[in-house]
Structure 1
Amino acid sequence: MATGAEPRTLEARATIMENPIYIALSRQDALRRQMDVVANNLANMTTPSYKNQRMMFLEYLAKPAATPVEKVSMVQDYGVLRNTAPGPITSTNNPLDVALQGDGYLAVETRDGQKFTRNGHLTLDLDRQIVDVNGLPVLDEQDNPLTVPQNAGAITITADGMVSSSQGQIGRLKVVRFEREQFMKELGGGLYTADEEPRPAPNTKVIQGAVEDSNVQSVVEMTQMIEISRQYANNQKIIDAEHERQRNAITKLSRLS
């Protein structure tokens, strides 16, 4: 019986010896992905309406195979939290630009249906439709593209989203909000989609001739980057020290045998 149990005991001991390295590696892996998020924040520091993101972590309990250890505590990143706080509003003097003051989103038309954006840097396309930075038509409250007639003259956009010209009203911008804003999925290009139905956003104010800037703060992101680098280096020291400890233990055991 002792002969049959001994190999499993040795295997268990070897696995237990490796556990500290596995734990440190799990933290390093999470730190690497956290660094990617911070780098993406910095890259979008000048992107209109971009919202900075943060990694979310939890303790992951795993039971190693062939060991008497019940559970080992690992580090796991399980999602990205988007900071929905508004960015500063900057005047552009472009009459088609709009900034949304509040939790609203503009609706745009894509091949896959309606998507939503807070990037209000708008222009006219060749068909004189108001489009976003991706060239997607901006919709009115009836889900129709807003088209500016020829020789329309100066365009005005009121706080409630009504678009008008010297020839009369063109339409009202479709501005909507979502109850679970954090659950909206980012698609790139400032576009979002959501599983829930959009609701009217009467408390959102439309500001003409301005855009919402990114809410990324460069000093905060650089500080985060430095802190992540330090934590990564400290974890590497732990791994190196643990590897050296195991190497010394194996050397001493080999001499005893």
Structure 2
Amino acid sequence: MTPHQVSVADFLASFGGDVDAAIAALRAHHPAPAPAPIPRRPRRERSGDHIITVTDLHKTYRMGRQKVAALGGVSLEIDRGEFVALTGASGSGKSTLLQLIGGLDKPSGGTVMVDGVNIGKLSDAKLSRFRNRTIGFVFQFFYLQPFLRLTTNTEVPGMFARTPRKERRAHAGDLIEAVGLADRSKHLPREMSGGQMQRAAIARALLNRPPLLLADEPTGNLDSATGASIIELFERIRDEFGTTIVIVTHDDDLARRADRTIRLSDGRIVPEGVVA
């Protein structure tokens, strides 16, 4: 007997009024379709023009008297205009690697070259200016200023770069439109959904026209459909602006959308074809 053959009341009565049992029967008779897999993008030809060169990178943390190796001799190259996903289990070192590439932390050994600059040799002040000009950051938790409207939130990097107000406001408006939030330009963060706030954070990261965008779990707090739309936005940014994009993600389906996936395990890069 199915709900197509009886009334709703009779159907529930057949389960003694047990709604949970009735729902279970409905699900068994009409199982939810499996979500369609996200297709893998065709692999792009690598240009050989590296915007990131990491050589023998090490990072060790102290936990009390113990030393914990987060990275153990990582070397890699990422081309201009490439979209790369860093994957691996929690604690594999992928977020640490992203922070070192972005100059948010200092390595224990090795070098990081970004856009031709050895960032390990920059003073704190010069590194701060370099990051503001060269690297856009997108994080899992958005970090929008709660009392600033979307347009002003987007302008913040330009304020630090001392971009003239008229210029930065015009560019902020263009970016807000590009990420599909033109009708939210006067909204506060609390008036936007999680997906809208992440789009706003991406617009803000692009304000100074950085050649490199780094994103740490940018879809971690979003549902699967919204997360997929954010990845599509990253693809469009790469294609339209030529921006190099490096994301950290736990989601293998989303990682498949990148041009290349680099997998880490225990602080080291896993060679392609090796099961870690």
| Common fold by TM > 0.5 | no
Structure 2 length as normaliser, TM-score?
0.20
Higher strand content, 1 or 2: 1
Higher helix content, 1 or 2: 2
Structure 1 length as normaliser, TM-score?
0.21
